[in-house]
């Protein structure tokens, strides 16, 4: 990876949405041309919704894969299934072999993400492993994902290192017999671009964004501010997790309710 590549990514920051759509569509067409059986990874989040909308223009019957972690916000589950129905998707909802609580018991709760850390075990078991197993057993040779370089330092380094379209024989700990093409058409999109696209195209908005900045598992402790979000949305689950972590909450002290500070 070079400084130049990081600089190239930064140069995309303020480009207009029209340019970002143009490059995203080129990446999609290029990926479709090079492969025979493709899939879109769909989480219900805003990036994957935009990605799905873009890809469907070129491949309306593409396989759409959603990993139901078992600890989804109910709002997200409802939204994903609604999109699958209303957009008439070729939709697959995958379930993991182990549940979140079994994984936490063995490996602990997910820690705040850092660019130099490996992905949390729960992400592997609940999302990436079921998806990779599906790609393998269904001979998928191209996977579209909605990641962007501007989401985090980890993602920026990843895009700088690999680019928005690359062949690999390995995703995480999964080895593939034949190479699989990974396509990231939104590699250079910012959050602002995503919201602008949603507005311009009048796409439905996942109700999860009424109370959260990001889509993810309800039980996720892997981001800064999870305590505040969960204590407001599901105080009982918040207390359960805090107790499992050996931490006390304000309501443990004489019925004082947790307050935002």
Q: Which residues of the shown chain bind ligand SF4 in the complex (CB under 6 A)?
A: 69, 110, 120, 122-123, 126-127, 216-217, 219-220, 222
CB closer to ligand SF4 out of 45 and 164: 45
Report the side by side order of strands in the sheet with 63-67.
90-94, 63-67, 38-41, 142-144, 174-183, 165-171
Is the Cβ of residue 93 or residue 196 nearer to ligand SF4 in the bound state?
93
> How far apart are CB 5 and ligand SF4 at their closest, in Å?
27
CB of 32 to ligand SF4, least distance (A): 29
Question: Which residue, 69 or 206, is less far from ligand SF4 as judged by CB?
Answer: 69
To 10 degrees, what angle do helices 46-56 and 191-200 make? 50
Q: Are 14 and 168 in contact (CB under 8 A)?
A: no
**88, 54, 15: which is closest to 183 by C-alpha?**
54
Least separation, in Å, of the C-beta of 44 and ligand SF4? 12
Least separation in angstroms between residue 105's CB and ligand SF4 is 14
Q: Check: CB of residue 67 under 8 Å from CB of residue 126.
A: yes
Nearer of residues 38 and 206 to ligand SF4, judged by Cβ: 206
**Cα gap 135→129, rounded to integer Å:** 10
């Amino acid at each position: 990876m070079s400084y130049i590549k990081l600089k190239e990514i930064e140069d995309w920051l303020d480009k207009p949405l029209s340019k970002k759509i143009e490059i995203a569509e080129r990446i999609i067409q290029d990926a479709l041309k090079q492969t025979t059986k493709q899939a879109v990874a769909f989480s219900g989040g805003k990036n994957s919704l935009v990605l799905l909308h873009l890809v469907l223009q070129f491949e309306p019957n593409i396989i759409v894969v959603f990993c139901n972690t078992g600890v989804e916000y109910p709002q997200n589950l409802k939204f994903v299934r609604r999109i699958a129905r209303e957009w008439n998707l070729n939709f697959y909802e995958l379930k993991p072999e182990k549940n979140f609580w079994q994984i936490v018991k063995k490996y602990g709760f997910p820690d705040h993400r850092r660019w130099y850390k490996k992905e949390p075990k729960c992400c592997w078991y609940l999302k990436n492993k079921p998806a990779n197993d599906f790609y393998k057993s269904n001979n998928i040779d191209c996977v579209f994902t909605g990641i962007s370089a501007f989401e985090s330092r980890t993602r920026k380094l990843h895009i700088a290192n690999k680019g928005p379209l690359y062949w690999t024989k390995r995703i995480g700990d999964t080895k593939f017999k034949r190479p699989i093409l990974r396509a990231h058409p939104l590699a250079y999109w910012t959050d602002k671009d995503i919201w602008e696209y949603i507005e311009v195209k009048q796409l439905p908005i996942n109700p999860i964004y009424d109370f959260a900045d990001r889509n993810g598992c309800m039980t996720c402790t892997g981001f800064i501010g999870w305590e505040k979000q969960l204590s407001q949305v599901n105080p009982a689950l918040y207390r359960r997790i805090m107790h499992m972590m050996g931490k006390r909450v304000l309501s443990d002290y004489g019925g004082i309710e947790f307050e935002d500070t």
